[in-house]
Each structure stands twice: as structure tokens, then as C-alpha cells.
């Protein structure tokens, strides 16, 4: 309801009624009256139009921004990534140091996972549903839920060390040709930027007009050096400050020391290739042999596998043995172990021995853990000193 305004007039009643009616009519219409045309010369002048912005050459602006990006000690990114065009899109919030160490979160289909990368190794910690969405299975899949799992790039959607370490990202973007000679001035989320179109169907980036730093990139394929393909990304970029860098390395060191020793490995779907061989000789001295292989046929890297065998008999109890080895993607691994009950008896007896074996993958061995902690300490010092040692190689190619 419109507010009612009252006025007092000292003229005659007839004029007062007329004035009141006029006031009501104006109040209901809600109009405002522009009287500027009554001023001398008021109707002759037009509002001046804003002068067009001076054109900005795209190539030198981009070159300066890329030099700045390459010198970042660490990069903070937020946005969306997909393994490639047409693949599932994941939300990502990551901090990536110049040496390739990275940490943050990824989120797909409403399920979030923590991500860490150190010493050329990539790990994700999420729920069982995350791995089911990825179509990942393994002999120790029950241990994936809520545990760190070493992962391949296609499972994470991106390899941060290969494409988001500052110098690496600057190199990749620098390989893309500038499509238009001039940058376009654009308001991006309240910030004045210069938009630059790059060669390709959907390649563009925005540079802050005040700082000349890259604020956002939309790239159809971030292809690292010596690779044939890369992820599609839409990311906001910012230089990470010293506090963020310290927090990144503190978190990575804690995870490496306390949690990765129990991690699993999902890069290869490890499975039995055939039925096991079990032989028992007097003692009883029993041997178990079997072959494991890349059951999915599309694994990557080399996975550490342990076979745990239990021999059992209701009368004489259980004996255990184990064997470990490295399974390369697309190949097989022979595993064998034995156990001796070593029963000494004056009379000959026979025992029915049952055997059972289970496979376990290891995402980080003891020696690898020592190397990772040493690498993290070395990279922390280099990053904070302003001179990282360069990004790590693709995680999938390492043991």
C-alpha cells in the first residue's frame, strides 16, 4: 500500500480540494518530474558519451603476464577441470608449488575428495562412492573408503605438477598463439580485465588491468611438454602467499609421515590371473604359488603388491607367509611363499591343510616415504627462497 501524505493549505476550500486531488494523483502515479529543460539552454545539451578505451596490444600484455606467472613460488587455483573435452567435470581447489608439490580438494557428482601430490606421486582420500563413480576396483577395495589411495591422472582429472606448477602452466599457455591482435576490456566479477582470445575453439584468458596478472583461464586442452593430450580447464588463478605455501608443505609433510604408509594403489586393477598352486610335503611344509596381472588392461605405472597366505588346520592351527613384488601395467607378476609346521612325531600322521590368499596394494613403501619427506623439505626451502627446482614428472610414470 502506498504511503499517505497530508498537506495543509491556507487557500480557499475550493482550491484546497483541487490541490489535494492533484497531490493524490501524483502520489499514486509515483512519477518524478524533470524540470531541467526549463533552465536556460537546458534542452539543447546532450550527455557526453564516455571515450572509448585505448586499444591494448594482446601479445606484449600476455608475454608480460606469463613471465610474472612463471616466477610465482606457488599458484592457487579454483574452478573446474575435466580429464579431456566431454569427460566428467570436477570442481577443483588446489595450491601448486613451483616444484610440483600440490594439495587441495576435487569434487565430482557431489562427492568431495582430498588430493595431495609429492615426490611424483598423486593420492586421493575420499569415500567409497567416489571410487565407484570412477569405476575403480581392486583386491583391497574395501580399504579405499576414507583412506589415501595412490591414483592415476584420469582418476584425479588432472596432474597438478605437470600442468599447474607456475612455470609449467606459463610454458603451456605460451605455446598457444594469440588469435586477435588487441585485447578486449571486460568486467570480470567486478574486476576490470583485458580478455585475450587464443588460437583454438575455446581458448581464452583474462588479465587484471591493474596488476597485469592472469586472473582466469579457459583452455580446451592443457597439453604438457612431451604429452599428446591434457585436461580441459576453467580456472581462476592467484599467486599463493607465504602463509599458504607454509600451510601446503606442513599438510603434505604430516600426511606423508602419518598416513601414506597405509595407503593403497588404484592405478592398476590387480587380480589373479589363474587358479593357485598349493603343495604340501611332510612337516607339513606347504607352498602357495599364483600369478597376478593387470585385470583391467588399462592400468598405468608400477604397483607394489603383497600376497598374504594363511594355511590352516583345526588340530594344528594356522601358519602364515607372504610375498611381495612390483606389477607393471599390462604385465604379470609371479608370487610364491611357504610355511613349515615342522611337527616332530614318533608316529606318522596326516593333516588336511587348507590355504587362503589375499592381495594388498601399497601406495607408499618405507623407502619411498623417506625419499618423499626429504624431497618435501628440499622443495619447501627452495620455494620459500623464491627459486623452485622445477616441476616433477607425470606421477603415473613412477613406481
CA 180, CA 51: separation in Å to the nearest integer?
22
Alpha helices in the chain (DSSP H): 13-29, 58-70, 128-134, 153-156, 160-163, 166-174, 242-258, 366-384
pLDDT, greater one: 8 or 103 = 103
Calpha distance 160→216 (Å, rounded): 17
pLDDT of residue 226: 86
E runs forming strands in 83-164: 89-97, 102-108, 111-118, 121-125, 148-150
User: Residue 10 pLDDT > 70, yes or no?
Assistant: no
Q: Is the pLDDT of residue 102 over 80?
A: yes
Rg (CA), the chain: 34
Give the predicted TM-score (pTM) of the model: 0.83
Give residue-wise pLDDT tens across range 304-354: 999 999 999 999 999 999 999 999 999 999 999 999 999 988 788 899 999
| pLDDT value of residue 173 | 97
pLDDT bucket at 149, cuts 50 / 70 / 90: very high
188 has a pLDDT exceeding 70: yes
SS3 content of the chain, % helix, strand, coil (to 5): 25, 35, 40
Statement: residue 246 has pLDDT above 90: yes
Distance CA 350, CA 371 (A): 50
Residue ranges of domains in the chain, CATH in brackets = 56-263+392-397 (2.50.20.20), 270-362 (2.60.40)
Please determine, for residue 148, whether its predicted confidence score (pLDDT) is greater than 90.
Answer: yes
**What pLDDT sits at residue 30?**
38
> 138-142, 143-147, 238-242: which has the minimum mean pLDDT?
138-142
List all residues 6 or more positions away from 4 whose beta carbon is below 8 Å from its beta carbon.
27
Q: What is the pLDDT of residues 269-300, one digit of tens each?
A: 999 999 999 999 999 999 999 999 999 998 99
Name which residue leads in pLDDT, 13 or 280.
280
Give me the chain's average pLDDT, please: 87
CB 102 within 8 A of CB 164: yes
The rounded distance, in Å, linking the Cα atoms of 287 and 272 is: 17
Please write the tens of the pLDDT for every residue from 28-43: 333 333 434 444 455 5
Is the model's pLDDT at 389 over the cut of 60?
A: no
- What's the confidence (pLDDT) of residue 201? 82
Give yes or no for residue 248 having a pLDDT over 80.
yes
The CA distance from 107 to 90, in Å, is 5
Judge whether residue 83 has pLDDT over 70: yes
- Quote the longest CA-to-CA distance of the chain: 138
pLDDT confidence of 17, banded at 50, 70, 90?
very low
Phi, psi of 154 (to 5 degrees): -70, -25
Region 113-133 average pLDDT: 96
Which is more confident, 137 or 379? Answer: 379
Given a contact cutoff of 8 angstroms between Cβ atoms, the answer to whether 360 and 139 are in contact is yes
Residue 50 confidence (pLDDT): 53
How high is the pLDDT of residue 19? Answer: 32
Amino acid at each position: 500500500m502506498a504511503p499517505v501524505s497530508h498537506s495543509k493549505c491556507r487557500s480557499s476550500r475550493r482550491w484546497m480540494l483541487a490541490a489535494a486531488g492533484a497531490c493524490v494523483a501524483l502520489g499514486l502515479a509515483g512519477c518524478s518530474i524533470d524540470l531541467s529543460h526549463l533552465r536556460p539552454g537546458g534542452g539543447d545539451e546532450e550527455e557526453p558519451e564516455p571515450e572509448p578505451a585505448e586499444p591494448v596490444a594482446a601479445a606484449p600484455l600476455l608475454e608480460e603476464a606469463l613471465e610474472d606467472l612463471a616466477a610465482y613460488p606457488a599458484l592457487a587455483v579454483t574452478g573446474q577441470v575435466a580429464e579431456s573435452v566431454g569427460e566428467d567435470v570436477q570442481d577443483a581447489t588446489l595450491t601448486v608449488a613451483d616444484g610440483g608439490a600440490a594439495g587441495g580438494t576435487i569434487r565430482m557428482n557431489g562427492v568431495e575428495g582430498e588430493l595431495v601430490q609429492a615426490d611424483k606421486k598423486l593420492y586421493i582420500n575420499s569415500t567409497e562412492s567416489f571410487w565407484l563413480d570412477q569405476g575403480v576396483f581392486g583386491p583391497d577395495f574395501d580399504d579405499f573408503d576414507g583412506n589415501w589411495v595412490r591414483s592415476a591422472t584420469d582418476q584425479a582429472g588432472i596432474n597438478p605438477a605437470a600442468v599447474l606448477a607456475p612455470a609449467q602452466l606459463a610454458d603451456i599457455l605460451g605455446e598457444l598463439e594469440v588469435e586477435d591482435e588487441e585485447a578486449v576490456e571486460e568486467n570480470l566479477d567486478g574486476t576490470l580485465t583485458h580478455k585475450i582470445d587464443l588460437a583454438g575453439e575455446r581458448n581464452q584468458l583474462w588479465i587484471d588491468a591493474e596488476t597485469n596478472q592472469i586472473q582466469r583461464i579457459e583452455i580446451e586442452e592443457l597439453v604438457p611438454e612431451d604429452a599428446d593430450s591434457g585436461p580441459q580447464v576453467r580456472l581462476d588463478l592467484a599467486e599463493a602467499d607465504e602463509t599458504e605455501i607454509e600451510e601446503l608443505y606442513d599438510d603434505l609433510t604430516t600426511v606423508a609421515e602419518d598416513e601414506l604408509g597405509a595407503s593403497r594403489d588404484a592405478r592398476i586393477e590387480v587380480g589373479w590371473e589363474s587358479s593357485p598352486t598349493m603343495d604340501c610335503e611332510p612337516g607339513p611344509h606347504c607352498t602357495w604359488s599364483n600369478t597376478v596381472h593387470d585385470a583391467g588392461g588399462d592400468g598405468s605405472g608400477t604397483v607394489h603388491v603383497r600376497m598374504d597366505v594363511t594355511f590352516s588346520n583345526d588340530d594344528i592351527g594356522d601358519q602364515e607367509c607372504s610375498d611381495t613384488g612390483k606389477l607393471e601395467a599390462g604385465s604379470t607378476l609371479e608370487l610364491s611363499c611357504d610355511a613349515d609346521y615342522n611337527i616332530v612325531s614318533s608316529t606318522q600322521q596326516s593333516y588336511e591343510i587348507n590355504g587362503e590368499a589375499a592381495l594388498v596394494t601399497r601406495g607408499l613403501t618405507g623407502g619411498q616415504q623417506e625419499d618423499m619427506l626429504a624431497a618435501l623439505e628440499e622443495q619447501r626451502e627452495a620455494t620459500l627462497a623464491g627459486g623452485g627446482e622445477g616441476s616433477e614428472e607425470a606421477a603415473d610414470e613412477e613406481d
